[in-house]
Amino acid sequence: MACPKGPQEPRLPIIVFLPYKDCQAIMKVLLLKDAKEDDCGQDPYIRELGLYGLEATLIPVLSFEFLSLPSFSEKLSHPEDYGGLIFTSPRAVEAAELCLEQNNKTEVWERSLKEKWNAKSVYVVGNATASLVSKIGLDTEGAACGNAEKLAEYICSRESSALPLLFPCGNLKREILPKALKDKGIAMESITVYQTIAHPGIQGNLNSYYSQQGVPASITFFSPSGLTYSLKHIQELSGDNIDQIKTQGPQHPKKNCLQLEPLRKDCTDTAVMFAAIGPTTARALAAQGLPVSCTAESPTPQALATGIRKALQPHGCC
């Protein structure tokens, strides 16, 4: 995708937005994720939402600590022991990058290890993870699957190696992928290379957002763990009103959201709609008794922006 031309908004630590000038009433959306600049120097979610006239704010809710890197580095040094690699998150790829940097393996990686791994299958979930894997020189497959369930089906339909697949993962990994492969007799070796913790600035950043920006039209969650660490603070900011969302049935789409009274300057409808980046996060919201107005069809900026815009459209704010 070509970079947009013209003057760009200044970069700020948390809030980044691309206003849509033809929209008379800009709607605000809150994305509970950290910023990731692309080749254009802007977070792609911010850009895609801006194209729909939505002013987006990013607030990180998760932090990560890397684990077992020496052990992971040793495994990466022996591709002959494995049938391939599985990456289901950007953090797992970052762990691989750290192994190469910290253990002076960059030269041997470029000279021989990379080629040996590329002779095997390297499976990934999502375009963001695929892009990071490609930067360390590996060819990927399965990115279009979009989630672990579909990737498991993809791997099972293709994998025939008797050697185990190496699966670097986080401490909160779900068992869907390992179980599906085990059921099909496909060997896999998991190694936990990072753990997920709450971002230290989550409460202060949310307080600042609500006090300065008002109530957003939509809040998007990007993972079950992100929901776990942020929902309490959103409940505190919302007060008793958050209980209203649990009493509205799914047959009432306009009521299928969080009704809040605080100021949203440009809109007459004060409903906050919950969105999820994928089905796993949507199920986590449902488990909390919170209905989801939008689930992205795939974990991409384009799909999320399209879904949020479609979900917000009936409420006529621009």
Question: What is the token pair recorded at 265?
Answer: 């300057």
First-to-last C-alpha distance (Å) of the chain: 26
pLDDT band at 314 (very low <50, low <70, confident <90, very high): low
**Mean pLDDT within 296-314:** 90
Q: Give the largest CA-CA distance in the chain.
A: 62
Output the pLDDT for position 262: 36
- pLDDT one-digit tens code per residue, 80-104: 999 999 999 999 999 999 999 987 8
- Rounded to two decimals, what is the model's pTM? 0.71
- pLDDT one-digit tens code per residue, 3-56: 544 444 434 344 344 444 444 457 899 999 999 887 778 899 999 999 999 999
Output the pLDDT for position 239: 58
CB-CB neighbours of 155 under 10 Å: 23
Output the pLDDT for position 11: 41
Determine whether 239 is exposed, middle or buried from the number of CB atoms within 10 Å of its CB (0-12, 13-18, 19+). Answer: exposed
Closest CA to 83 of 132, 130, 116, 131: 116
pLDDT at 171 over 90: yes
Written in H, E and C, the secondary structure of the chain is CCCCCCCCCCCCCCCCCCCCCCCCCCEEEEEECCCCCCCCCCCHHHHHHHHCCEEEEECCCEEEEECCHHHHHHHHCCHHHCCEEEECCHHHHHHHHHHHHHCCCHHHHHHHHHHHHHCCEEEECCHHHHHHHHHCCCCCECHHHCCHHHHHHHHHHHCCCCCCEEEEEECCCCCHHHHHHHHCCCCEEEEEEEEEEECCCHHHHHHHHHHHHCCCCEEEECCHHHHHHHHHHHHHHHHHHHHHHHHCCCCCCCCCCEECCCCCCCCCCCEEEEEECCHHHHHHHHHCCCCCCEECCCCCHHHHHHHHHHHHHHHCCC
Output the pLDDT for position 127: 87
- pLDDT one-digit tens code per residue, 187-213: 999 999 999 999 999 999 999 999 998
Share of the chain above pLDDT 70, in %: 80
Output the pLDDT for position 41: 80
Distance CA 82, CA 189 (A): 9
Report which of residues 306 and 271 the model is more confident about: 306
Distance CA 111, CA 88 (A): 26
pLDDT at 263 over 60: no
CA atoms within 13 A on the CB side of 224: 13
pLDDT at 115 over 90: yes
Closest CA to 199 of 172, 228, 235: 228
